[in-house]
Structures are given as structure tokens and as C-alpha cells.
Amino acid sequence: MQVFTASGVSDRCGKALPSGTKRTRDWFMTTASTDKPASSPLAIHSAADLTIEDIRAAADRIHGAVVRTPTLHSKTLSDITEADVWLKFENLQFTAAYKERGALNALLLMDEERRSRGVIAASAGNHSQGLSYHGTRLGVPVTIVMPRTTPTVKVMQTESVGGNVVLHGETFDDAYKHARQLEQEMGLTFVHPFDHPHVAAGAGTVALEMFEDAPDLDCIITPIGGGGLISGMSTVARALYPDMDVIGVQAELFPSMYMSMRGEDLPCGGDTLAEGIAVKAPGDFTSSVIRDRVDDILLVSENALEEAVSLLLQIEKTVVEGAGSAGLAALLTNKERFAGKTIGLVLCGGNIDTRLLANVLLRDLARSGRLARLRITLQDRPGALFKVMREFEAHNVNIIEIYHQRIFTSLPAKGLVTDIECEARDRAQLDALITALRTKNYTVAAVESN
């Protein structure tokens, strides 16, 4: 079994194979895992059901109804990663995600009878908004089943674009089963968020536009949840640029497609920033496409996702959700592999809670040394804190908050601990302050963020 690295072909353990070894995509297991939830429908489609012609037809079909988003070069990200980086801004769609492409294509391929009866989906994310928006625009009744645990803001966003939201169950699996039940009881048509050729064909139009704007790409790095986006994009890549590297990326907490393709068993679940690609059971159809057309799948940490969200806001002045940052996170984590290559990244969505975004930005400032909490041991006497604050002033470090602790401490009764949250220009400035305090015999410790 083979995998592909920046230097060429290697075996599973990373050992280089002889030069001239034929490049194939047989690094994947030949059979996917058969462990699926009881609600998973039987596979009725394969990779052969999705072609470049299907995607070109989808592009014509949805033209004018979705935003033709720009693909732009990022000089700063190119300098940081030592690659030539191009960004496809799908977060500029009306619903702030590429998902509406596939939803619209699926709706337009239905006959009038099915449209008049209405459609249904189970989703607490971008698919629900894309389907609701275009369904309402076309006069198609749209029912969205969401778990009762879905944040109120997502329910309101879906309802605001015309969706009829039904809250059921505690998990997505519960909502999915109920949606399939309502499909039968009410005669509705179920629109899967990823595991259908019509949806994947709509998603593939992202690649048609990207390759038109950036025709010299060596590689695309694409987020994978259920696999609809990368199925469509890899189909276009294989048809137009057979030698292009097609790389998928998943959050370490949800490596479902990674496990399915490699036949490995890893933990799957948790609170990931990339909730848009937090899928436990990959699609049957999308798995067949990925096995045939994708070169590799990478996993990224939560810290890498947070860093990527922060960088895109600071550098590109654009807001992305965790899933939308996954491609950049993979690039930042694997700089040596992609150095010198021309890379295309899809910013697939921008629906992130504002409070969560604020938390991500503050945590990134802390990791970079620009924001810190210093724990300093003082004597409990007049002027002790003033002397410490003079050191902050001397080093031009701004104090944000001060917390005194006299009771819940192991220090003697005349001692106290003070936590000072502060903002520095960079880590070097912060380190200089800490050194100065220690030189004056203060006990100083930085309270680390994770």
C-alpha cells in the first residue's frame, strides 16, 4: 500500500519507494468500513454516477442564482507558508457557504410534482440554510429537522430564509431518522446534505470556477465532512488536470473518512471548532468517489483550526467558520510538504458564532504571546502592587485586568497572589518584562492557555 508525500511516493511508514514508481491512488483500503448507523440508507450510487459533464450541466443550471465567488491570490499567506496560495471565497455566498450550490442543483433536477409536495432534510448547519433559501425562492416547501439541542441562532437563521424547522431528538441521528420517517408519511423528497450525485455535482462547480481563475494550481486542499465537496472538486480535477494533487482534510476529532479509507480505528467525536465537517458516518457514494479520485487525507488539530480562523480574519479580513479554515490549517501544519507548490484552498463557509469567534481570536493572541496572564507573588503591604505596575509601564506592556487572591492560596497570611492580564506587542516584549520582574526577586509564572 502506498501514500504520497511532498517528495514523491512512499510506503505507509514513510519510507521512499524506488524512483519511477507509478503514481496511483491505491493508498486507500480497497473496501470501506461497513460500520454504519442503522439510519444509513443503502448505497445506490457509485463514482461512475458523477462526471465532469454532470458538473458542467450543474454550473449552467445554477448560473445566476448563486454567487460566482472570487478566487484570489494571498501574498501574505504565501509568504507565511512558502507556497503560492490561492483562496476561493465561498463564504461570500448569500447563506455564507458553498452548500447552496448542491441544494439548488438537486431542487432543479426534481420534477414539478416532487417540488410541489415539498422537500425535507436533516441538518443543523449550512445545508439547512441553503436548501431553505433556494427552496423558498423556487416556491418549494422546505422542512428541516434539527435536534432539540441545536443552538437557537441556527434555528432562527434557517427560519429566516424560509425553512419550516421541526425540532426532534437529542442527536443528529435522532433528527435524521425522524426526517426519513416524515419523508414517507408526508410524501416529501429527502435531500441529502452530501451523499448524492446531484448534490456533489453542484458542489463541484466550485472547482470549475476556481480552475478558471487560477489555472496553474498544483494542488487543491479541500475540507471533508461527508465528502460532497471533495467528490465534486476531485471529479473536475481528474478530468481537467489528471496530475493535480487532490488532498482532503478532516478535524482530528472527527476522522471518519480518514478511517474509512485507511481501515484504521480512531476515536471519533468531541467538541470541534469545525462543526461543519463533524461527520461520524461518511457517505457510501462519496466514499466511492474519494477512494477513486483523492490522493490523501490529512488530519488537523483544534489549535491549527483556531490559528487558521484567526489568520484569515487578520490577513484576508474575511470571517470563516472552523470547517472553512481546515484547508489553511492543513497547509500551515504541513509546510514542508507543500513548499514551492501552487495551492488552492476553499473557504467553504463563514457561519461562525460571534462569541465563539471572539474566543478563538483571544486564545490565538494568548498563544502568540501578545495576550498573557502573569501570576505574581507579592507581599501584602502598601505599595507592593504599585512597584510591579511600574515595571509594566517601563516595558510598555498594557494591563487589562488585575485579580488579587488572599484567601484561596497556600502562601502565608501576609502573602498574596495577583494575576495580571496584559497585552504586549509580541512574545519578546513579554519575555523582557518577565525577566525584569524576576531580576527584582518577584516569583512570576505565565498561566498557559492550551
The pLDDT assigned to 360 comes to 94
The pLDDT assigned to 141 comes to 97
pTM as predicted: 0.83
Rounded Cα distance between 377 and 375, Å, is 7
Q: Give the closest residue to 283 by CA, choosing from 25, 39, 10, 43.
A: 43
Rounded Cα distance between 249 and 231, Å, is 13
Q: Give the closest residue to 14 by CA, choosing from 23, 3, 6, 22.
A: 3
Phi and psi angles of residue 126, each rounded to the nearest 5 degrees, phi first: -70, -30
Strands 398-405 and 415-423 turn out to be antiparallel
Strands 371-379 and 443-446 turn out to be antiparallel
Q: Give the closest residue to 404 by CA, choosing from 382, 376, 381.
A: 376
Find cell 497556600 and name the residue.
410
Maximum pairwise Cα distance, the chain: 82
The pLDDT assigned to 30 comes to 35
Rounded Cα distance between 39 and 179, Å, is 10
The pLDDT assigned to 174 comes to 86
Which grid coordinates are listed for 324? 472553512
Alpha carbon separation from 275 to 38, 223, 321, 357, 437 (Å, rounded): 22, 12, 8, 13, 42
Q: Which residues of the chain have pLDDT under 50?
A: 1-24, 26-43
The pLDDT assigned to 32 comes to 34
The pLDDT assigned to 264 comes to 86
Burial 330-354 (b: 16+ CB within 10 A, else e): bbbbbeebbeebbbbbbbbbbbbee
Rounded Cα distance between 281 and 37, Å, is 7
Question: Is 424 in contact with 369 (CB distance < 8 Å)?
Answer: yes
The pLDDT assigned to 6 comes to 32
Question: Is 69 in contact with 92 (CB distance < 8 Å)?
Answer: yes
Rounded Cα distance between 248 and 246, Å, is 7
Alpha carbon separation from 1 to 15, 29, 70 (Å, rounded): 12, 8, 38
Identify the bridge partners of residue 422 per DSSP, sorted by sequence position: 372, 399
Give the chain's domains with CATH numbers: 47-94+197-362 (3.40.50.1100), 119-187 (3.40.50.1100), 370-446 (3.30.70.260)
pLDDT digits (tens, 9 = 90+) for 91-146: 999 999 999 999 999 999 999 999 999 999 998 789 999 999 999 999 999 999 99
Question: Is 248 in contact with 297 (CB distance < 8 Å)?
Answer: yes
The DSSP code for 156 is H
Alpha helix ranges (H) inside 21-117? 52-62, 75-81, 99-108, 112-117
Exposed / middle / buried, residue 388 (Cβ in 10 Å: 0-12, 13-18, 19+): buried
The radius of gyration computed from the CA coordinates of the chain, to the nearest angstrom, equals: 25
Question: Is 214 in contact with 236 (CB distance < 8 Å)?
Answer: no
The pLDDT assigned to 37 comes to 35
